[in-house]
Amino acid sequence: MKVIDLGQEALQAQGLVMKRQATRIARRVAYFLVAAVFGLFALVSVHGVLWAFALDVLHFNALGSACSVLGLDLLFVIIFGLLGTRRVADPVEFEAKVRRDRKFIEFKQAVAISTLTGILFGPIGRFTGRKAAGGLRNIFMRR
């Protein structure tokens, strides 16, 4: 029964790892989508206002106004793009990976022990045991 329990524990830990990885990937995709949407809408809607603000209030020329608007847009695209490239695993996912690895090691050990026990107590083991006991009896018995 221990082998089955260890196998189930390892599979549960792997399921939690995969669930957390899917959540992390979905979060990254969402950050990339936010970056793309913001990039598109910023290019369309805010450019005119920022250009006019830089031209009239900051007294930039037309080229300086356009470059300042472009710089601000690129800043937001870089910020959200960097948020999307983060690959940091959260603590729950890390703990699940550690638990999965430990249970898998225990599972392999339990399978090895149960295989060895099956060989020793199975038909081959009984036959070999009888022959070994008979050999020891012959050595230590009086003739």
C-beta of residue 110 within 8 angstroms of C-beta of residue 6: yes
How distant, in Å, are the alpha carbons of 9, 10, 35, 108, 123 from that of 113?
18, 18, 54, 9, 17
- Could you identify the residue written with the tokens 């959540």? 23
> pTM, whole model, 2 decimals?
0.41
CA-wise closest residue to 89 among 23, 35, 3, 135: 23
Give me the torsion for CA of 15, 19, 20, 21, rounded to 10°: 100
Distance CA 132, CA 115 (A): 21
Give me the torsion for CA of 94, 23, 83, 91, rounded to 10°: -20
What does the pLDDT look like over 54-84, one tens digit per residue? 888 888 888 888 888 888 888 988 998 898 8
Say whether pLDDT at 97 is over 80: yes
Bigger pLDDT: 116 or 31? Answer: 31
Say whether pLDDT at 112 is over 70: yes
What does the pLDDT look like over 13-24, one tens digit per residue? 888 989 999 999
pLDDT bin (cut points 50, 70, 90) of residue 26 is very high
